[in-house]
Amino acid sequence: MLRRLLPLMMLTAAPALADDVTTFTLDNGMEVVVIEDHRAQAVVHMVWYKAGSADEPLGSSGVAHFLEHLMFKATDTMASGQLSAVVAANGGDDNAFTSYDYTAYFQRVAADRLDLMMQMEADRMNNLALTEDDITTERQVILEERAQRTENNPNAIAREQIRAALFMNHRYGLPIIGWEHEMRQLDMADVHAWYDTYYSPNDAILIVAGDVRPDEVLAMAQAHYGPIPSEPTLPARLRPEEPPQRAERRLIYADPRVSQPYLTRSYLAPERDPGDQTAAAALVYLAEVLGGSSFTSVLGEKLTFDTQTAIFTGAGYDGDTLDDGTFSLTVVPAEGISLQTAEAAMDTAIADFLTTGPEMAQMERIRTQLLASEIYAKDSVEGLARRYGAALSIGLSVQDVQDWPDVLQAVTAQEVLDAARALFNPDHAVTGWVVPSREEL
């Protein structure tokens, strides 16, 4: 427990903090990553498939997420729901998630139950036994999920429309959950084509984190995952890239359920690249510099604090992606302030920033925050497992993950300014106004 108590200032120099990671590759191509953490007798067991919604075939949006649901149905030897029931009966919990670039399954249990987890996860990687009834039932479930998460939420609809306008060619422009009209068409053939191609050891990464020893994990992985044949027709992961984006785009989403008009602008932004994470790290700072704190961030200070133009400002960067990610700005104008005025104020604040760059004090504040959050992150075994799984699924290496905190610490004010200047091209962005009705514009 000692390292949790070290004072912040000492931590940069502490090599003992490097994660204790061992990697293997099984003969069938499955990657194995073991993260040792013996603080508690628990283990997190995850399988990540390097296939997400952006890998889906034309016209089959949502199939990655649909299969994620169906993976909890019966296999040749397990009943529907049995895996989760067994995990719960063993005092653990389990879940799954689908993203643009990957689909992942995990269980958290006592360390001595790892073998059982592998047995069940390997079973459903290879022996899923879906029925037409499963397809029909679960399709209703995902449609209902879409209704709840997207259709019932004007902000989610606005985000969906903005992404669709931002990406002209790349499948990041489609929602992970799928377009409703395509979800309705998903059938057994779509699901099986996806499962048979991607749910294969040579497309999977096994992450085991916790109170385990690498040699034991390897032996277990060989026993359970080793016999599954690799998929010879696994396609190269080449997705359609964006053409040059040459026109400044805007949209207005009007929905009576919008209680508070706001504007949000999304830019295409470079992602973290293997061996080359500096630009992405600079954008992490930029999001904090522009939209982090209401008091000290550029937008917070100028729009909220100084002029009361806005009641909220924010900035976000998502570069944990295989291809180009996004950088977003959001401004919620104060009562009586039009979106036009608020947007002009935002643009002025950014233009001013592009001449001055970040203040040193601000850089140091963020540097310290990032150092602290990197340290806190190590406290969660599940968080660590997710971090490695997500990174490896988007083409980063274990080394990239381990370098990331240092790359973050080394970012300079000039790099943040350079990243901002490269980022803020109006032709690479969509500005959305989200309003209760068009008449009020």
Q: Give the residue numbers marked as catalytic.
A: 68
Q: Is 314 helix (H, G, I), strand (E, B) or coil?
A: strand
Chain-centre distance for alpha carbon 62: 16
Indicate the residue among 158 and 390 with the shorter CB distance to a second copy.
158
Q: Determine the interface stretch with a second copy among 51-59, 115-123, 194-202, 266-274 (rule: CB under 8 A).
A: 51-59
Cβ 151 to a second copy shortest distance, Å: 10
Residue 126: count other Cβ atoms within 10 Å of its Cβ.
16
Strands 204-210 and 31-36: parallel
Indicate the residue among 47 and 435 with the shorter CB distance to a second copy.
435
Binding residues for a second copy, rule CB under 8 A, total: 38
Our finding on whether 432 is near a second copy (CB under 8 A) is: yes
- Cα→Cα distances 243→8, 166, 168, 419, Å: 45, 12, 7, 21
The beta-strand segments (E) located in 88-223 are 93-98, 103-110, 204-210
Our finding on whether 174 is near a second copy (CB under 8 A) is: yes
Query: What is the footprint of a second copy within residues 213-252 (CB under 8 A)?
Result: 238-241, 243-252
Q: Determine the interface stretch with a second copy among 55-63, 224-232, 290-298, 387-395 (rule: CB under 8 A).
A: 55-63
DSSP symbol at 38? T
Our finding on whether 168 is near a second copy (CB under 8 A) is: yes
Q: Determine the interface stretch with a second copy among 117-125, 178-186, 214-222, 365-373 (rule: CB under 8 A).
A: 178-186
Q: What are the phi and psi torsion angles at 119 (to 5°)?
A: -60, -45
Cβ 283 to a second copy shortest distance, Å: 23
Indicate the residue among 60 and 313 with the shorter CB distance to a second copy.
60
Our finding on whether 426 is near a second copy (CB under 8 A) is: yes
Angle formed by the axes of helices 360-377 and 398-409, to 10°? 150
Angle formed by the axes of helices 114-126 and 82-89, to 10°? 180
Q: Are 240 and 169 in contact (CB under 8 A)?
A: yes
Q: Are 319 and 272 in contact (CB under 8 A)?
A: yes
- Per-residue binding letters, 302-331, with a second copy (x by CB under 8 A): ------------------------------
Tokens for 179? Answer: 């377009």
Q: Determine the interface stretch with a second copy among 169-177, 211-219, 261-269, 351-359 (rule: CB under 8 A).
A: 169-177
Indicate the residue among 175 and 210 with the shorter CB distance to a second copy.
175
In three-state form (DSSP H/G/I as H, E/B as E, the rest C), the secondary structure along 419-435 is HHHHHCCHHHEEEEEEE
Binding region for a second copy (CB under 8 A): 57-59, 61, 157-158, 161-162, 164-165, 168-169, 171, 173-174, 179-182, 238-241, 243-254, 426, 432, 438
